[in-house]
Chain A
């Protein structure tokens, strides 16, 4: 396994954070405008439309399978406020 230098990681961290932080400011023009999110706001486009059922389904499979993790999903939606 290749050893990774901590300086490279820190640089990656700075780039990621600065990239995301600049996204916080309003100089960025999104290609899907806030008033164009009709379809994205529809519950059928939600990753988690029924959390109770989804959590149970994940549990029913996970209890009988060796794999676990990476089940999350958030975002999309109306992007309001």
Chain B
């Protein structure tokens, strides 16, 4: 008995298969048109940065160092070393535990290979902290077309996480992730570039944070509620799409904007809007001002307070899964030292980037307001009516770059 199967494909599998075939086709075509002209490798540079995040009870800072160098005409290699030194604790942690100190190190190496107008990149990243290990590999292809006015980029990433839990030696869970990226950049005029980017991500495995808990009403407990571990689905599929635009202003300045939409299989819908203005003073000073607004709707299985233990199959109270928005305003200052073009070192910059961000939660409540004095019942909000949480944070980046 023999049956011929008519293949029909669902949309998310469609995007993935199309992208894979486009990657292969572009590599093949790129090799075929070997007589075509070429593009350029990423610029040689080294950067040393101090980064800092202060807010929401957290203090995270550390270095990030990048080294990049061309080898011959076709290859560029890069390496990045990054550390987060974390202390304090966010509200999620403080609600159920106490402040902690931790360190996370991330190392990344990459190689870019240029063949005519095709640029291929390969990157390997490892991230390590005492209760979490992750590795990921990224492969990208970028091709210039139509007189270098159009650039098509395709990317694939695969990541593996090992999730542990401090204090529980036997706890070890795994998660894996695959990303498919497609991007098109188009030069519109001498002064304007438009970009379009699409990314499909699917995760599988243990996808929640082992330290996060949900709370449910329990009249028998002192606080009126109790905590239990979150339970997330073990798969997640998400799609994001963004448009960007850059416009050059005649007095050597530029304005840029970005709009992004996101939706996933957990019911989260989000959008991001960014607007920025870059202004130059003379040949050496660059100032940037920017604003960013983010808004998201909660995951289907998110609730700040459940009515009983194990009320639903999936339960989340991680504020990242709630309905909230944030607004950030930022300023950057750069001073450029221009060296002689005949020097080995061509240019050096000193930079300070600063962003102030405000988070406002619509359905995540601040349970810490009640945990002040024992026995003082004045001003204690009833369970489920605690004030909605909000916080602000300062994100600072101070770095020196050198170009050679």
Chain A residues packing against B (C-beta within 8 Å): 1, 3-6, 9, 12-13, 16-17, 20-21, 23-26, 28-34, 36-40, 42, 44-45, 47, 50-53, 55-57, 60-61, 64-81
Contacts and interface: CB of A to CB of B under 8 A. Distances in A.
Contacts of B253: 44
A36 to B, nearest CB: 5
Given A74-B151, A76-B246, A17 B25 contact: yes
Nearest to B246: A45
Interface string B180-210: 0101011101110101011111000000000
A65 B270 contact: yes
Name B's interface SS: strand
B181 A69 contact: yes
Contacts of A38: 190
29 contacts: A3-B9, A4-B9, A5-B6, A5-B8, A6-B8, A6-B9, A9-B17, A17-B25, A17-B26, A25-B33, A26-B36, A32-B190, A33-B147, A40-B191, A40-B248, A42-B248, A50-B351, A50-B353, A50-B399, A52-B47, A52-B66, A55-B64, A61-B357, A64-B320, A68-B201, A69-B179, A72-B183, A74-B142, A75-B193
Interface residues of B, number: 97
Contacts of A37: 187, 190
Residue among B64, B148, B197, B199 with the most chain A CB within 10 A?
B148
A37 B82 CA distance: 35
Given A31-B149, A66-B268, A67-B260, 11 more contacts: A9-B17, A30-B146, A37-B187, A42-B254, A45-B193, A45-B246, A51-B47, A52-B66, A68-B201, A73-B185, A78-B40
Contacts of A56: 49, 51, 64, 82, 397
Contacts of B64: 52, 55-56
Name A's interface SS: loop
A28 B401 contact: no
Contacts, number: 230
Given A13-B25, A17-B26, A79-B148, A50 B401 contact: yes
Contacts of B39: 79-81
Contacts of A34: 147-148
Contact of A1 (B11, B21, B186): B11
Contacts of A75: 142, 144, 150-151, 153, 185-187, 193, 195
Contact of B153 (A25, A72, A79): A72
Given A24-B117, A39-B190, A75-B193, A52 B49 contact: yes
Residue among A55, A67, A71 with the most chain B CB within 10 A?
A67
B148 A20 contact: no
